[in-house]
């Protein structure tokens, strides 16, 4: 079953794992050390993130290291970008409205 990347990042533990791995590649045990949960629970989160292609596994000797898949993170960013543009436009419009209100207040003070 292929999971959706947005379902994967909806979970706070998985977002925390992504944040940890964004800094450096880590083994499952090193990741689990950062959480007050079982190693099995962390493994489940890692499996979901891997299925969504947000993480990839690299075998180095006897250890498996997880690294972040930047390409998939860009997918999330591109989806969010459309909303960022809407928000920026609305903030710009709000700035104009606030400036107009301030100018009207200033004009009223000068006419008194």
54 contacts 22 by C-beta, under 8 angstroms: no
DSSP class of residue 24 equals S
pLDDT of residue 45: 96
Give the burial class of 9: count Cβ atoms within 10 A of its Cβ; 0-12 exposed, 13-18 middle, 19 or more buried.
Answer: middle
What CA–CA distance (Å, rounded) separates 37 from 41?
A: 6
Beta bridge partners of 60: 63
**Residue ranges of the chain with per-residue pLDDT less than 70:** 1-2, 111-112
Could you say which of 3.40.50.300, 3.40.190.10, 2.40.10.10, 1.10.10.10 is the CATH number of the domain covering 5-68? 1.10.10.10
Tell me the pLDDT tens digit for each residue of 91-109.
Answer: 888 889 898 888 888 777 7
| Count of residues in the chain | 112
Give the burial class of 13: count Cβ atoms within 10 A of its Cβ; 0-12 exposed, 13-18 middle, 19 or more buried.
Answer: middle
1 contacts 7 by C-beta, under 8 angstroms: no
pLDDT of residue 67: 96
pLDDT of residue 2: 64
Q: How many CB atoms lie within 10 A of CB 39?
A: 13
DSSP SS3 for 79: helix
pLDDT of residue 3: 75
pTM (predicted TM-score): 0.72
């Amino acid at each position: 079953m292929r999971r959706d990347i947005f379902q994967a990042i909806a979970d706070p533990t998985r977002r925390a794992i992504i944040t940890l791995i964004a800094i450096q590649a880590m083994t499952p045990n090193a990741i689990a050390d950062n959480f007050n949960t079982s190693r099995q629970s962390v493994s489940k989160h890692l499996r979901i993130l891997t299925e969504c292609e947000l993480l990839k596994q690299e075998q180095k000797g006897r250890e498996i290291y997880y690294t972040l898949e930047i390409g998939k993170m860009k997918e999330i960013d591109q989806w969010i970008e459309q909303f960022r543009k809407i928000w920026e436009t609305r903030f710009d419009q709000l700035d104009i409205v606030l400036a107009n209100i301030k100018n009207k207040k200033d004009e009223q003070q000068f006419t008194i």
